[in-house]
Structure 1
Amino acid sequence: MQKNENSWDLTQRKHYLFHLTWPIFVELFLQMLVGNVDQMMVGWVSPSGVGAIGNANQIINLLVIAFSVISMAATILTTQSMGAKDYHRVSTIYTVSLVVNALFALVVSVILYLGAPTIFTWMQVPAELMEETVAYTRIIGSGLILQGVFLTFSAIFKSNRLMMESMVVAVVMNAANILGNYLLIGGVMTGEPLGVAGAAISSNIAKAIGMVLIIWLFQKKIKPGLSFKSLRPFPTQVLRRLLYIGLPSGGETVSYSLSQAVTMGFVNLCGGVTITTRVYANMFAMISYLYANAISQSSQVLVGYAIGAQDYGQANRRVWRTTLSAVVISFSIAAFLFLFSDTIFGFFTDDPAVIALGRQILFIDMFLEIGRAINMTMVRALTAANDVIFPIAIGIGSQWCISVVLCYTFGIILGWGLPGIWIAMTCDEGLRGILFIIRWKGRKWQRKSEAIAGFRP
């Protein structure tokens, strides 16, 4: 690891947040394309494949979030240690994170391969989509270890403020995935179209390329590196600390994805037009909150440095500026997408029912993105500031008692369909946003951080 004695001063420089944010933004945009390009290119060969990939990604994304819990915790723990200029256990943190994620990914791969039919039956995936959904899930699942290892190294680069390197890898991965899709989905290389299976194989190849590249960059850029000797005896204290930070901080996101999987079951009850519209609308919504996601990640790194340096005033100012920026940009992008919704949806489909329904959803999404931007920045800030229990408690309560209940009530019982489901999710995001603002203003995070700093050796 490269030590910089002036690293804390560096994080306070004007425009430094933007310096960290834009590579993350580009990386997230390209990562989003890896999944969404699959859906677009498969849609040209097999329209049913769009729905199949959409259903499969509900479960795959959930499990990817689960093993990114350790990566998220490693980022927070490393930045806090760097802010305090305590480098002693950083190499051990890297190694424990990598080993745990790799082992977990292997277990999840087995579960996905054996349990995919049962999972998608429970999700009420239509019979005409089931075969393609299971096939895509099993192939992608077999490559989860590639993604688990990649996420670990990506977290290490972010904690060292080396965002540019992760961005370069994302560019290479995206290019490899698009080329692979062209060769496999339509059968250019195989002689016959592989459809969703070709998209899954291409994604795994791209992830393998990305994993090899990021490991090579790690060996060149970060010293000291991994230390497998530190695993004997196993550093259970480091693992406990990672889990203490990671499980609550990742739990909120896992809960959200689980609730979305249940919501997808409601969507599946509404028919093919609703399923297709939801897939496209989700893709466009991701564009709306992409900047909020990027700036919240870079802000989390800087908040971690501030907490480690016990500069709580700087942490507070950083969070409020980040939140305002995230809300303004997310709402502006969502409004732009709504204004040009017919053109945007028309690029992917010529079904007038999908285009009309999509216009309604993107109007509602403008208001949903306000709450989502607040939640993204506040949850990451709270966890970086050692307030790790509150976000998951509020997340689970609101996502299930507000979002899921209202999705079923508005979407199914009242018959509002997809607009009702989107309104319910807007209520959930808005409520949580208000509660997180109140929590941050109460400064309990500062009292928790001061207590932890008092026990720091």
Structure 2
Amino acid sequence: MKLELLKIKHVTINLLEKYFTGESIEYKNIFAIIIPIFVDQTFLILMSLLNTAMISSAGVAAVSAVSMVDSLNIFLANVFIAVATGGTVIVAQYKGSGNTLMVSKTATQAINVATIFSVLVSVLVIYFHMPILNALFGNAEEDVFNNAKTFLIGSCISYPFTAIFQSVTGSLRGVGETKPCLKLSLFLNLTNTILNVLLISIYKMGVEGLVISTIVARTLGTTASLIYIVKYNETIHFQLKSVCRIDYAIFKKIMFIGLPFAAEQIFFNGGKLLTQTFIVELGTPALTAFAIANSLAMLFQIGPNALGITSVTVVGQCIGRRNIQDARKLIQSLLGFSAILFVIAAAVILPLFPLLIKMYNPPDEIIPTIFTMIIISAIAQPIVWSQSFIMPSALRAAGDSNFTSIASLLSMWLLRVILGYILGITLGFGIIGVWVAMIVEWGARGIIFAWRFKGKKWYAHKLV
């Protein structure tokens, strides 16, 4: 038995060295990055799942409202998260090149810029919240609309805290320090969940309770992240006195990555929002089915999402050393590993569907629809998801931000939005038609990125 275990260990190490070791980085370093991010993503998704299940106790209107505004939240928050990602890429490349002074300066500037963007977004959305909600969800039922209004304003208050937190953890991931990211994320999400249990499940405060717990948790999480990088971190050397200083040379580099990504997120998530508006036309049951299916589908994506985040650090550091061969090899390895994780996830999650669906207490008539959507995802994701989501993260880490953004925008609007409307509304396939259009868009986008990866232009940008 001991001999067999030694053989398995030997074979595993050989495989890891073959596929996840290069001149720039070894497999031990890569998995030291992946594992904390994987645990972090697991908790994030499970907390989201639990929170959605808890808010379902407040009724279908509450679930639908939170689902609608979450789409808008993703649309808005990704603007400043995109800027923070620009910081992560530049930090990773400076780390790869060995320039510790610029690592520190870039991390500080990333936090500054993301904070400015998030405050502007928050103020604008709070001021124009009624026209925005009327334009997007004017056809929603009155109780759904009122819940959406409460949740949107509360979410806006929390945006600056999210921006600072994402900038701090993004910079830490850029230098490969994922353990503190994990601890900070666990602190924030566990705080959020405990408050949700208290305010939603015990005190029955519904959407108002969700808003309060979100703001308090993000405030505490952001405070903890700033205390860590000011007092305890020895790589970034963040100083509060540098917060208001803008270094325009670094600012331009961050914006070179961040602005195209931000524009992509605006139009990409704008397309998702537009899709949501014609889902509203299908009625509250369809909207609820879509929200629950989305929540469950995220369980399949825990591992692959972790690999996508890891790819920014790994590829960024390879490109910082100008080792293109390592970058190509490790991107392909991460894509293959992602497909394997999807298959494992499907084998574990699908048998648990009857138990998972009970957490949401959905009307019986929409359960078959939800199951059909999950089956479609389970079949398609190992084939198309990784090329569509991990590949652009890797290309962006090499500085190829303009191409990835334009490709994502075109595929979203030409396929997910237009095809989704044709299948879902015009041809009458309903929510299943919208879901299939999303899968088709993933596949088309993945083909475009695979074609780009075969060429040389994606690594031609020299940022550091």
TM-score where L is the length of structure 2: 0.89
Structure 1 pair 410–337 and aligned structure 2 pair: CA distance change class (3 A): farther
Please state if 1:40 is matched with 2:72: no
Deviation string 1:190-245 (CA, Å, 9 cap, x unpaired) is xxx32101111111111111112112221202345235666787421211111111
- The corresponding residue for 2:209 is 198
- Map 1:327-338 to 2 at 5 A: 327-334=339-346, 336-338=348-350
Structure 1 pair 244–150 and aligned structure 2 pair: CA distance change class (3 A): same
Deviation string 1:405-425 (CA, Å, 9 cap, x unpaired) is 000000000110111011111
Taking the aligned partners of 1:240 and 1:92, their CA distance within structure 2 comes to: 13
> What letter is aligned with 1:29?
T
- The corresponding residue for 1:3 is none
Deviation string 1:56-100 (CA, Å, 9 cap, x unpaired) is 111111111110112101111011112111233232222222122
Contact 2:126 2:156 in 1 (8 A): yes
Cα offset, 1:127, TM superposition? 2.4
- The corresponding residue for 1:56 is 69
- The corresponding residue for 1:235 is 247
Please state if 1:296 is matched with 2:308: yes
Please state if 1:151 is matched with 2:163: no
Contact 2:34 2:307 in 1 (8 A): yes
- Give the alignment partner of residue 288 of structure 2, picking from 243, 255, 276: 276
Please state if 1:445 is matched with 2:445: no
Contact 2:114 2:164 in 1 (8 A): yes
> What letter is aligned with 1:209?
L
> What letter is aligned with 1:202?
S
Structure 1 pair 265–334 and aligned structure 2 pair: CA distance change class (3 A): farther
Gaps of 5+ in 2: 1-20
Contact 1:51 1:279 in 2 (8 A): yes
Taking the aligned partners of 1:346 and 1:228, their CA distance within structure 2 comes to: 47
- The corresponding residue for 1:4 is none
Please state if 1:89 is matched with 2:94: no
Please state if 1:374 is matched with 2:387: yes
- The corresponding residue for 2:92 is 79
- Give the alignment partner of residue 348 of structure 1, picking from 357, 360, 363: 360
Equivalent residues, number? 440
- The corresponding residue for 1:170 is 185
Deviation string 1:117-162 (CA, Å, 9 cap, x unpaired) is 2222222333230111110111121121111111111111111211
Taking the aligned partners of 1:265 and 1:45, their CA distance within structure 2 comes to: 23
SS at match of 1:415: coil
- Map 1:6-21 to 2 at 5 A: 12-21=25-34
Contact 1:34 1:203 in 2 (8 A): no
- Give the alignment partner of residue 136 of structure 1, picking from 151, 154, 168: 151
Contact 1:116 1:138 in 2 (8 A): yes
Deviation string 1:268-287 (CA, Å, 9 cap, x unpaired) is 11112211111110011111
> What letter is aligned with 2:45?
M
> What letter is aligned with 1:195?
G
- Give the alignment partner of residue 244 of structure 1, picking from 234, 240, 256: 256
Structure 1 pair 418–160 and aligned structure 2 pair: CA distance change class (3 A): same
Taking the aligned partners of 1:17 and 1:268, their CA distance within structure 2 comes to: 43
Cα offset, 1:327, TM superposition? 2.0
Please state if 1:107 is matched with 2:157: no
Structure 1 pair 233–425 and aligned structure 2 pair: CA distance change class (3 A): closer
- The corresponding residue for 2:227 is 216
Cα offset, 1:331, TM superposition? 4.1
SS at match of 1:143: helix
> What letter is aligned with 1:259?
G
Taking the aligned partners of 2:394 and 2:260, their CA distance within structure 1 comes to: 13
- The corresponding residue for 2:324 is 312
- The corresponding residue for 1:286 is 298
- Give the alignment partner of residue 408 of structure 2, picking from 395, 413, 428: 395
Structure 1 pair 120–280 and aligned structure 2 pair: CA distance change class (3 A): same
SS at match of 1:123: helix
Structure 1 pair 410–9 and aligned structure 2 pair: CA distance change class (3 A): closer
Structure 1 pair 49–309 and aligned structure 2 pair: CA distance change class (3 A): same
- The corresponding residue for 2:417 is 404
Cα offset, 1:38, TM superposition? 2.9
Taking the aligned partners of 1:25 and 1:300, their CA distance within structure 2 comes to: 14
Q: Which has the higher contact order (CA 8 A, sep 6+)?
A: 2
**Percent identity of equivalent pairs:** 22
- The corresponding residue for 2:132 is 119
Taking the aligned partners of 2:112 and 2:246, their CA distance within structure 1 comes to: 11
Choose 379-388 or 107-116, whichever is displaced more.
107-116
- Map 1:426-437 to 2 at 5 A: 426-437=439-450
Contact 2:316 2:398 in 1 (8 A): yes
Choose 326-335 or 115-124, whichever is displaced more.
326-335
Choose 122-131 or 31-40, whichever is displaced more.
31-40
> What letter is aligned with 1:405?
I
> What letter is aligned with 1:121?
N
Gaps of 5+ in 1: 1-7
Structure 1 pair 35–347 and aligned structure 2 pair: CA distance change class (3 A): closer
Contact 1:297 1:380 in 2 (8 A): yes
- The corresponding residue for 2:81 is 68
> What letter is aligned with 1:279?
A
Structure 1 pair 111–36 and aligned structure 2 pair: CA distance change class (3 A): farther
- The corresponding residue for 1:26 is 39
Cα offset, 1:9, TM superposition? 8.3
Contact 1:364 1:419 in 2 (8 A): no
> What letter is aligned with 1:327?
A
Choose 179-188 or 310-319, whichever is displaced more.
179-188
Cα offset, 1:266, TM superposition? 1.4
Cα offset, 1:12, TM superposition? 2.0
Choose 287-296 or 178-187, whichever is displaced more.
178-187
Structure 1 pair 232–156 and aligned structure 2 pair: CA distance change class (3 A): closer
TM-score where L is the length of structure 1: 0.90
Cα offset, 1:383, TM superposition? 0.9
SS at match of 1:348: coil
